[in-house]
Amino acid sequence: MTIERIHTSARMSKIVKHNGVAYLCGQVGTGDSVTAQTEECLRRVDALLSEAGSERSRLLQAIIWLSDMTDFAEMNAVWDAWVPAGFAPARACGEAKLARDVLKVEITVTAACD
C-alpha cells in the first residue's frame, strides 16, 4: 500500500493520500470576520481536494476549530452553503487556541479520492 505525500515540508504535508482516502492539513484564512476566514479556508480546501482527485461531495470527515464558540452560527452559515445537499460529512467542531491570535477558524477534512 502506497502512501503519497503532496507538498511536503519538514513539518507536514498539505495532502496525504492512502488507500483511496485524502487527508488534508488544517486550513486557515485571512480577514477580520469568521465569515471571511471560513470562506477562504473552504476555497483552500476546494483547491486541495481538486489536487487530490476529490471534491466536496466525497467528504468523509471534517474537524473545525473555532477560537471562540460564539462564532459557531456565523461559521455554520458559510459551511452550510458550501457543503452539497445530501453530502454532509461526519463532523466535529470545538473551541481551541489557534496558532496565531488573528485566526478565528481552522478546518481540516478527509475525503475519498481517486
- Other CB atoms within a 10 A radius of the CB of residue 65 amount to 20
Task: Give the pLDDT of residue 1.
Answer: 74
Query: What is the DSSP secondary structure assignment for residue 99, as one 8-state letter?
Result: S
Domains of the chain, with CATH numbers? 3-112 (3.30.1330.40)
Question: Sheet holding 105-112: strands in order across?
Answer: 3-8, 13-18, 21-24, 105-112, 59-66, 90-95
Phi, psi of 93 (to 5 degrees): -140, 130
Cα separation of 6 and 17, whole Å?
A: 8
**Cβ(17)–Cβ(4) below 8 Å:** yes
Structure confidence at residue 35 (pLDDT): 98
pLDDT of residue 114: 85
The one-digit pLDDT tens for each residue of the chain (114 residues) are 799 999 999 999 999 999 999 999 999 999 999 999 999 999 999 999 999 999 999 999 999 999 999 999 999 999 999 999 999 999 999 999 999 999 999 999 999 998
Shortest CA distance to 63 belongs to which of 31, 43, 86, 90? 90
Separation CA 1–CA 88 (nearest Å): 28
Cell 481552522 -> residue: 106
The predicted model scores a pTM of: 0.95
